Amino acid sequence: MLYQIHEWQRSLLGPLSYFAQASARMLNDNSSPFAQLPSAQRMAAGYELIHRLGKDYEKPEFDLHTATAHDHEIAVIERIALAKPFCQLKRFKRFSDDPGTIEKMKSDPVVLVVAPLSGHHATLLRDTVRTLLRDHKVYITDWVDARMVPTTAGTFSLDDYIAYVKEFIRHIGASSLHVISVCQPTVPVLAAVSLMAARGEDTPRSLTMMGGPIDPRCSPTSVNNLATTQPLSWFKGNVIHTVPPNYPGHGREVYPGFLQHAGFIAMNPGRHLNSHWDFYQDLVRGDLDDADSHRKFYDEYNAVLDMPAEFYLDTIEKVFQQFVLPRGLWDVAGERVNPAAIKRSALLTVEGELDDISGLGQTQAAHDLCSSIPAKRREHKVIAGAGHYGIFSGRRWRETVYPQVRDFIRKFDHAGK
């Protein structure tokens, strides 16, 4: 019923949002007589703020058409390399008309970025991908909004997530691949590679794990505390809802994106309130660059997706309540997950000093679990002053984190070759 109420609210706010948008444009257009009214700019700012608070935020595009590689501007084409019901494996194919650049790009390492399935779309990692394209051939997991997947496609659990990761690694070719997992997927990626190693399959040349809950018992955050203070039955009864009839996935049980978004906002309500007030003031003052930065950030931040109920509940129970990975008690499709089986892959873990989602030590725990990887093939980095998003997006990612990730991948890519 909550999902239906949310849809009613959305349908009511839609016309108001469109009216506010039209009013803002009318008051901002210099050719309009209304723009000459006293306080027109202030009224226009207020209308745009109303528009942005009430509008529906669709999934953004990656919008990566050009990049810089080896000091040359190159063209980028987004392709679907493999399509699954709940995920698309996308490749960002690079093109250049400079022969020297083409030769250098041919020898660049291949990277698979495993994006989180935790509320936001994979486009949240746009900056991550854009930066990686400088020196890598890049693939990414683009997870599908569960409300858009018909029930005929079946269910999707944490085990299915692991199966997808294994299939993507095999499809690209593990022997020449480097995998970067950001936040939530560090756990299923480590499980997938562990199972592949135990079977004697090729594993990726390197694993880079960034800000993930490998062992949530280390430095627990408010996210971890919520999962441990409520029984699984509470989550089933309070946050799982059914997709209404106006979507292709109607009848599917999901953890709605709007609930996850409300949780994100509740973690730092004052910060978001101040950000919107600053946006209004920027519009009044005519600081269009700052206002546009606000728009770009919240166009991404406010665009959320629904997660399949089975996957969400599995993650709560196995990762955040039972800690089956660090305790060595995780069985997937009848096979025990044993990270000690990984021997050939190099391991890099990255944590933010100020991460309030995955606390310090949670990602580093992967080193104790991957005990068969020689010490000379393992590294751990703590990024001073970085929060959760700072380790994979923004200036700190580009200037501090990325050079270390790039050098680590290059080191073990050359070793593999």
Question: Whose structure tokens read 């390492």?
Answer: 109
Rounded CA separation 99/70 (Å): 12
* CB contact at 8 A, 314 and 159: yes
Helix, coil or strand: residue 379: strand
- State the CATH class of domain 66-232+307-416: alpha beta
Helix, coil or strand: residue 83: strand
Q: What's the pLDDT score for residue 348?
A: 98
* CB contact at 8 A, 360 and 386: no
pTM for the full predicted model? 0.91
Q: What's the pLDDT score for residue 373?
A: 97
Span 200-238, pLDDT tens digits: 999 999 999 999 999 999 998 888 888 888 999 999 999
Q: What's the pLDDT score for residue 415?
A: 64
Neighbours of 407 (CB within 10 A): 12
Q: What's the pLDDT score for residue 246?
A: 87
Q: What's the pLDDT score for residue 306?
A: 95
Bridge partners (DSSP) of residue 120 are 304
Cα pseudo-dihedral 378, 383, 386, 388, rounded to 10 = 10
Question: Whose structure tokens read 């020898």?
Answer: 107
Domains of the chain by residue range = 2-56+257-301, 66-232+307-416
3-state SS of 246-302 is CCCCCCCEEECHHHHHHHHHHHCHHHHHHHHHHHHHHHHHCCHHHHHHHHHHHHHHC
Low-confidence ranges of the chain (pLDDT < 70): 415-417
Could you tell me which residues come within 8 angstroms of residue 307 by beta carbon, excluding any fewer than 6 positions away?
A: 117, 118, 119, 146, 254, 255, 257, 260
User: Is the torsion defined by CA of 147, 149, 155, 161 positive or negative?
Assistant: negative
Helix, coil or strand: residue 245: coil
What amino acid is encoded at 177 in this protein? L
Q: What's the pLDDT score for residue 321?
A: 96
Q: What's the pLDDT score for residue 101?
A: 93
Report angle CA 367, 371, 372 to the nearest 5 degrees: 130
